[in-house]
Structure 1
Amino acid sequence: MKQVDYIIVGCGLASIAFSEQLRANGKSFIVFDDRSQQSSIVAAGLYNPVILKRFSEVWKAKEQLDLALPVYKKIEQDLKIKIDHKLRILRRFTSIEEQNLWFNASDKPKLEPYLSTQLVKNTNEFIDAPFGFGEVLHAGRIDTEELIHAYKTFLKENQSLVESRFVHQNLKVSSHGVSYENIKAKQVVFAEGFGVKNNPYFKDIPLNGTKGEVLVIKAPNLNIDFGIKSSVFIIPLEKDLYAVGATYNWTDKSNIPTEEGKQELVNKLKTFLECDFEVVQHLAGIRPTVKDRRPLVGQHAEYQNLYVLNGLGTRGVMIAPYVAQKLYQFIENNTPLDSEINISRFN
């Protein structure tokens, strides 16, 4: 039997953030992943402290960024990769009224550090933006695909990854710990994303799941090194490639890209992009969303060594390190979970 402190089920943003908590504290662990969940891989990976639709602050934006960025920096150093790309994000204005709302928001104490008061004029002939842009400060993009690929390789090299489906029915739970096949552990953390719906221990947590579709386009004439938020996001990747997203579908729970999703993104893109482009990739995934837009973190009501880390929604790169630390402190030091994230809030 192999003995570890923790079994983690899933290998997305939540799992990686919790794994980093365990590594920092000298805990042993093993991760199970069957590649069934796509939301972290297809995520745009933006960390942006402002809700740009309403010009309002992201929940606990400063606390999240203060925790998250050092975590990703350490992963870069340990794995010798580059995943954190600082990025200007420009919010396209559609009217004078939107400009005024932006400047009003920039006067609010919690938003002032993140909203530039300098109007950015459009100088790109292929972008329709007669009212200019507002610039978001302290933003960037985590390359989630590279992060997950590199982290799985790192786990494999340390014999800490099992690439197969975790069969919940084979988990044996007792007051002293758990056992699964040839592994004994003290605790299990389920970080399965929307896959938690197949987990008999946590299938009833109020996770809705929202399908998102994104495109990768090739636009040689566009030539921008900043992100644009309008009716859709445009995010520069490399060599004339840009990510475009995203859709929100609350009924379709499959990871299959749809023609309807593709057309929605293309049509919205054409409202302000005035150069030719080619769709070179079309991806889809189910975001683990919650009705109150807060994560789902906590302990099973009956089995005290089973935990859930889920519900990161659309801002996983920012939220994951924050909630991973909260869960670790709860398990190891009995530090109470914030009521805003504790799954007990729905009891």
Structure 2
Amino acid sequence: MKNVDYIVVGCGLASVAFCEKLRANNKSFVLFDDASQQSSIVAAGLYNPVILKRFTEVWKAKEQLDIALPVYNKIEKDLNIKIDYKLRLLRRFSSIEEQNLWFNASDKSKLGPYLSTQLVKNNNLAIDAPYGFGEVLHAGRLDTEKLINSYKDFSKQEQCLVESSFRYERLSIQENSIQYDDIKARHLVFAEGFGVKKNPYFSHIPLNGTKGEVLIVRAPQLNIDYGIKSSVFIIPIGNDLYTVGSTYNWTDKSNRPTEEGKNELVTKLKTFIKCDFEIVQHFAGIRPTVKDRRPLVGRHPEHQNIYVLNGLGTRGVMIAPYVAEKLYYCIEHGEPLDIEIDIKRFTS
């Protein structure tokens, strides 16, 4: 019998962040993953504190960044990898009115630190941006695929990774412990992303799931080292390669890339990129989204040692370490969860 403090199911951004909190506090764990969920792997990894469609602040942006960036920095050091890339991010203006909205937003106290008031003119012949750009400050890109694959390798070396599907019927729940085959734990945390829809303990939580598709394109003539947000975003990843995304599909729940998704991204990209480009790869994944755009965190209503960590939506890079910390302090120190993230908000 292997005795641990935690069993964690799933290996996406949420579970990696939670496992890092466990490691920092000398808690033992076993991590289950069957590679069935792809939303973290295919995510572009962009993090920025502003909703660029409406020029409004991301929910708890400062708190999230203050917690998230040191976590990723520690992972880089511990795993000897590079995953966090600071990125100059420009929002393309489509009109004078958008410029004015930008400057109005930059006067707000919570947005001021993140929106430059210096208009950026376009000097790149491969880009159509007659009204210029606004620059977002404190933005970056996390290489989510490298993070997760490296974390799995690290967990293998630490002998705490089980690469198989979690079989719910093999779970035995006692008052003060959990047993799964020959593993006994004090607590169980499900961080399965959209896979939670098949989980009999948390299938009731209102997780919608939104399919997103992303392209990797090669564009040698584009020659930019900054990201652009317009009708889609385009982010440089090196060697003339760029990530382009993303789509939103609320009905298709498969991880299969579609011709419709590809055509939508290409059409939108061509509205502001005037050079030739070649599609190198095409990905799709299901984001774990919630109708009120807040995470789903909390304890099972009947089993006091089973928890869920989910619903990170489109901003998992920023949110994951924040909610992982909140759940850890809830479990270990009895601190109440904020009602905005607690799953109780849908049952009470």
What TM-score do the two structures reach when normalised by structure 1?
Answer: 1.00
Aligned counterpart, 2:273:
273
Q: Deviations over 1:106-163 (max 9, x none)?
A: 0000000000000000010000000000000001011001100110000000001000
- Alpha-carbon distance in structure 1 between the residues aligned to 2:83 and 2:177: 36
Corresponding letter in the other structure for 2:211: K
Aligned counterpart, 1:45:
45
- Alpha-carbon distance in structure 2 between the residues aligned to 1:123 and 1:3: 61
Q: After superposition, where does 1:255-274 map in structure 2 within 5 Å?
A: 255-274=255-274
Runs of 4+ that moved beyond 2 A? none
Q: After superposition, where does 1:46-65 map in structure 2 within 5 Å?
A: 46-65=46-65
Aligned counterpart, 1:114:
114
Q: Deviations over 1:32-86 (max 9, x none)?
A: 0000000000001111000000000000000000000000000000000000000
Any unmatched runs of 5+ in structure 1? none
Alignment of 1:156 onto 2:133: no
Aligned counterpart, 1:167:
167
- Alpha-carbon distance in structure 2 between the residues aligned to 1:41 and 1:176: 34
- Alpha-carbon distance in structure 2 between the residues aligned to 1:95 and 1:198: 46
- How far the C-alpha of 1:169 sits from its partner, in A, is 1.1
- Alpha-carbon distance in structure 2 between the residues aligned to 1:61 and 1:73: 18
- Alpha-carbon distance in structure 2 between the residues aligned to 1:134 and 1:176: 54
CA RMSD after TM alignment? 0.3
- Alpha-carbon distance in structure 2 between the residues aligned to 1:292 and 1:331: 24
- Alpha-carbon distance in structure 1 between the residues aligned to 2:71 and 2:17: 8
- Alpha-carbon distance in structure 1 between the residues aligned to 2:176 and 2:144: 36
Aligned counterpart, 1:211:
211
- Alpha-carbon distance in structure 2 between the residues aligned to 1:47 and 1:254: 25
- Alpha-carbon distance in structure 2 between the residues aligned to 1:187 and 1:72: 25
Give the secondary structure class of the aligned counterpart of 1:341: coil
Aligned counterpart, 1:33:
33
Alignment of 1:132 onto 2:132: yes
Corresponding letter in the other structure for 1:322: Y
- Indicate the percent of aligned positions where both proteins have the same amino acid: 76
Aligned counterpart, 1:193:
193
Give the secondary structure class of the aligned counterpart of 2:298: strand
Alignment of 1:244 onto 2:240: no
Q: After superposition, where does 1:326-345 map in structure 2 within 5 Å?
A: 326-345=326-345
Q: After superposition, where does 1:135-146 map in structure 2 within 5 Å?
A: 135-146=135-146
Q: Deviations over 1:300-346 (max 9, x none)?
A: 00000000000000000000000000000000000000000000000
- Alpha-carbon distance in structure 2 between the residues aligned to 1:163 and 1:141: 28
Aligned counterpart, 1:78:
78
- Alpha-carbon distance in structure 1 between the residues aligned to 2:70 and 2:255: 32
- Alpha-carbon distance in structure 2 between the residues aligned to 1:308 and 1:218: 39
Q: Deviations over 1:274-319 (max 9, x none)?
A: 0000000000000000000000000000000000000000000000
Corresponding letter in the other structure for 1:170: R
Q: Deviations over 1:148-188 (max 9, x none)?
A: 01100000000010000000111100102010011000000
Aligned counterpart, 2:235:
235
Aligned counterpart, 2:306:
306
- Alpha-carbon distance in structure 2 between the residues aligned to 1:224 and 1:329: 42
Corresponding letter in the other structure for 1:318: M
- Alpha-carbon distance in structure 2 between the residues aligned to 1:271 and 1:138: 27
- Alpha-carbon distance in structure 2 between the residues aligned to 1:46 and 1:109: 23
Any unmatched runs of 5+ in structure 2? none
Q: Deviations over 1:179-216 (max 9, x none)?
A: 00110000000000000000000001000000000000
Aligned counterpart, 1:288:
288
